[in-house]
């Protein structure tokens, strides 16, 4: 057996306690992914580099270009750091971009709920729909619905603040409000009070509560994806040498890490472990494993502000003669693939292209980087503690590995002396992926697919997404030249320029440039005379200065959005009726509960008689042009001082004396004046006795 100590040729520049976005190189892969954390019903998955759909797999890491479809009655949950995205039934979802600064998703049909726990000043979260781009401006709870025709989008803000951009214009949606955007080429919008939560909202709230109450947050950062599942499937213990460790509760005899699951090829990281356990994400992409007190325990390491995701924290073993020795044939380890989990203070050396800063950051929680230079490690000169642990080394055939077959069913038993002869080859298997590796499973017979019209539907974007991924068929020859190593950016750029179909434009339309090209298409209210939206600045970060405490949202609303006219939302039923999946009749019954808006409570009684309230609706066709601007002014402080609405009727009488209804009062007064004058005249002619 090879027993050598870790070589420490140089000291690293210093301890790296946290990861800052400014430290990241553009050549490095993202430090976070989207974990497919919960599945219910028929959920389908399509990677960005292939055209095939497959059955979605729990714990699969999602990234830029990946798509999901939830069939009828299905649900799905995606976790990204400390935030969550949840998909309702019959939702077509995809990641246009996912990196350390940007989360940009497309929703061409269905509904998504977002719990955004943190949003840095240099981060953006955008949901792109067929009717407009929705930017989430602060942490909170949001819901976006797109109807089956793609003609109507509803944006509901429970907590936080959002901004909708389309046709070169934008408007804000504040807490407890919902906006309905209708149309795409010439869209209109309406804002009303948010509807009460339905059954799906209640399910999302229950999932959020589970996160908030997770005890594991005491031991790991909330940005460790999957921490919320640890409480239900294991226990935390204090150990002397490793501190707090997590021990899974499992009934499998001889259980070992990285054995019950399968491998998949996920760009840009390459070979990635997908565990079968419902808790099987955090312990396999962060921290280290150790065999202690007769069993396996997960060591999360030190808590850092932004932990870095890794595809699999293992060391692969093999060798030219070793594969033949264990009876699998082939040269260079081609016949079999073997690995074991890394232990505490053992560095992980990625098999993909990264910077020195990335290597330090991905190791900072579990390696004492003040004592070793993790950017210059010889992986063969490390005394790996888990290599001799019971059942630590897992061996399978290359076919099982490449075709993403279940590892636990295909483990090959290798004598101990043969395992000792194996040589550590690094953090990546030197095996070329296949199409099955991209899908993360063998070919499936029957997979539910979204309708073709939905997958080809164009969405509006505020942020320009990255170019489409290079198809796997174009990458495959280059991947065979360097087995097990993903292509770098320069190789991908070269393939994108040459590969047929690699330069196909994504199904997106810019939401901002239309402001100068088609000024007449600016986003307009659903009814004439309603608030005119403000133009979008050419600077993407323009709406950010409007951030502030939620309690001060009313005072922050810009004048172009005309907050003074917000009480009229209940007087505009047309867009609400366009939402097929949300009954319009329920809205009036829910609005009287909002104390700051007394007007909507009386609105239902006025709707059957549209001729009655012309004085309160100057935006209708009856209004004269000069009176349009002054009319909303008395209503501006309405939310802060509802009592000022006591005298709305006299105002039209002064501004519009020619209207029949306002003239009744002056006419009566003139008649009474005539009667009094006649009485005085009669008194003068006949002095009192």
Give the pTM. Answer: 0.74
* Helices within 447-527 (DSSP H only): 452-455, 472-481, 489-498, 514-517
132 and 460 Cβ atoms separated by less than 8 Å: yes
CA 369/CA 13 separation, integer angstroms: 9
CA dist 22 and 189 (Å) reads 38
Contacts of 481 (CB under 8 A, 6+ apart): none
For the chain, helix (H) and strand (E) counts, in that order, are 18, 31
43: left (phi over 0), alpha (psi -120 to 50) or beta: beta
The Cα–Cα gap between 578 and 181 comes to 10
The whole-angstrom separation of Cα 130 and Cα 117 is: 26
Residue length of the chain = 689
What region, left, alpha or beta, does residue 254 occupy, with left being phi > 0 and alpha being psi -120 to 50 degrees?
A: left
φ/ψ of residue 45, rounded to 5: -135, 140
Angle value at C-alpha 55, between 54 and 59, nearest 5 degrees: 115
What is d(CA 496, CA 475) in angstroms, rounded to the nearest whole number? 10
Phi then psi for residue 593, to 5 deg, are -70, -10
pLDDT < 70: residue spans in the chain: 1-26, 319-327, 329-334, 369-376, 443-445, 499-506, 513-674, 677-689
Distance CA 398, CA 483 (A): 13
Residues in a beta bridge with 99: none
What is the DSSP secondary structure assignment for residue 539, as one 8-state letter?
S
Residues 238, 71: Cα–Cα separation, whole Å? 44
Can you tell me the distance from the alpha carbon of 389 to that of 501, in angstroms, rounded to the nearest whole number? Answer: 49
> How far is it, in rounded angstroms, from Cα 461 to Cα 464?
7
The phi and psi torsions of 651 (rounded to 5 degrees) equal -60, -50
pLDDT given at position 365: 83
Cα–Cα distance measured from residue 240 to residue 344, given in angstroms and rounded to the nearest whole number: 13
What number of other Cβ atoms are within 10 A of residue 238's Cβ?
A: 8
User: What is the pLDDT at residue 498?
Assistant: 82
Orientation of helix 489-498 relative to helix 472-481, angle to 10°:
130
- Give the tens place of pLDDT for each residue, 133-154: 999 999 999 999 999 999 999 9
Task: Residue 298: name the closest of 253, 335, 256 by CA.
Answer: 256
Q: What's the pLDDT score for residue 517? A: 35
Q: Enumerate residues 6+ apart whose C-beta is below 8 A from 371.
A: 8, 11
- Going by their DSSP bridges, the two strands 161-166 and 133-136 should be labelled as antiparallel
Query: Alpha carbon of 220 to those of 36, 61, 78, 82, 340: distances in Å?
Result: 20, 20, 19, 12, 24
Enter the tokens of residue 250.
């499992």
CA distance 289 to 311: 15
User: Could you write out the DSSP letters of every residue in 102-140?
Assistant: EEEEEEEEEEEEEEE----TT-EEEEE-SS-EEEE-SSE
Task: Report how far residue 9's alpha carbon sits from residue 245's, in angstroms, rounded to the nearest whole number.
Answer: 30
- Element spanning 358, H or E: helix 356-363
* Alpha-carbon gap, residue 75 to 40, rounded angstroms: 5
């Amino acid at each position: 057996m090879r027993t050598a100590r870790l070589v420490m040729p140089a000291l690293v520049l210093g301890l790296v306690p946290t990861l800052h976005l400014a430290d990241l190189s553009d050549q490095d892969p993202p430090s976070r992914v989207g974990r497919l954390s919960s599945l219910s019903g028929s959920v389908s998955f399509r990677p960005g580099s292939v055209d095939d759909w497959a059955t979605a797999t729990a714990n699969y890491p999602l990234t830029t270009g990946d798509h999901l479809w939830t069939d009828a009655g299905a649900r799905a949950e995606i976790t990204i750091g400390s935030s969550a995205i949840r998909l309702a039934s019959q939702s077509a979802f995809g990641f246009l971009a996912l990196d350390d600064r940007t989360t940009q998703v497309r929703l061409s049909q269905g509904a998504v709920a977002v719990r955004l726990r943190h949003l840095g000043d240099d981060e953006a979260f955008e949901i792109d729909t067929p009717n407009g781009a929705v930017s989430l401006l602060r942490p909170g709870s949001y819901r976006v619905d797109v109807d089956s025709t793609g003609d109507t989008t509803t944006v509901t803000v429970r907590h936080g603040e959002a901004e909708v951009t389309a046709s070169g214009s934008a408007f804000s949606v504040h807490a407890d409000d919902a906006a309905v955007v209708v149309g795409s080429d010439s869209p209109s919008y309406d804002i009303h009070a948010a509807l009460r939560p339905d059954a799906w909202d209640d399910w999302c709230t229950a999932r959020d509560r589970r996160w908030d109450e997770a005890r594991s947050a005491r031991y790991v950062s909330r940005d460790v994806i999957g921490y919320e599942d640890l409480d239900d499937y294991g226990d935390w213990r204090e150990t002397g040498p490793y501190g707090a460790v997590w021990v899974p509760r499992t009934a499998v005899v001889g259980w070992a890490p990285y054995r019950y699951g399968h491998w998949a090829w996920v760009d840009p990281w390459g070979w990635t472990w997908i565990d079968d356990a419902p808790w099987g994400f955090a312990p396999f992409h962060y921290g280290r494993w150790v065999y202690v007190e007769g069993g396996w325990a997960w060591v999360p390491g030190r808590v850092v502000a932004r932990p870095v995701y890794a595809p699999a924290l293992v060391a692969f073993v093999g060798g030219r003669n070793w594969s033949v020795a264990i009876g699998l044939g082939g040269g260079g380890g081609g016949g079999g693939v073997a690995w074991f989990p890394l232990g505490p203070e053992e560095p992980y050396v990625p098999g993909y292209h990264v910077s020195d800063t990335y290597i330090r950051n991905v190791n900072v929680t579990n390696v004492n980087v003040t004592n070793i230079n993790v950017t210059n490690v010889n992986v063969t000169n490390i005394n790996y503690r888990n290599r001799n642990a019971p059942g630590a080394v897992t061996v399978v055939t290359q076919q099982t590995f490449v075709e993403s077959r279940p590892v636990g069913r295909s483990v090959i038993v290798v004598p101990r002396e043969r395992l000792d002869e194996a040589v550590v080859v690094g953090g990546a298997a030197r095996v070329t992926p296949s199409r099955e590796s991209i899908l993360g499973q063998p070919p499936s017979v029957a997979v539910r697919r979204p309708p073709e019209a939905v997958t080809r539907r164009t969405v509006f974007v505020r942020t320009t997404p990255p170019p489409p991924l290079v198809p796997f068929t174009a990458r495959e020859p280059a991947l065979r030249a360097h087995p097990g190593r993903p292509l770098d950016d320069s190789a991908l750029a070269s393939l994108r320029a040459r590969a047929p179909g690699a330069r196909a434009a994504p199904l997106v339309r810019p939401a901002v440039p239309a402001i100068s090209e088609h000024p007449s298409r600016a986003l307009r209210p659903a009814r004439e005379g309603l608030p005119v939206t403000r133009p979008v600045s050419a600077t993407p970060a323009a709406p950010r200065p409007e951030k502030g405490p939620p309690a001060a949202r009313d005072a922050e609303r810009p004048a172009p959005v005309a907050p003074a006219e917000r009480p009229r939302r209940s007087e505009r039923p047309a867009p609400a009726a366009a939402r097929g999946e949300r009954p319009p009749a329920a809205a009036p019954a829910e609005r009287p509960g909002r104390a700051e808006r007394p007007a909507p409570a009386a609105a239902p009684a006025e709707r059957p008689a549209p001729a009655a309230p012309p004085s309160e609706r100057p935006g209708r066709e009856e209004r004269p042009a000069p009176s349009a601007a002054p009319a909303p002014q008395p209503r501006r402080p309405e939310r802060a001082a509802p009592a000022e609405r006591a005298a709305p009727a006299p105002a039209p009488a002064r501004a519009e004396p020619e209207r029949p209804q306002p003239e009744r009062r002056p006419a009566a007064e003139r008649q009474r004046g005539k009667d009094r004058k006649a009485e005085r005249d009669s008194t003068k002619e006949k002095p009192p006795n």
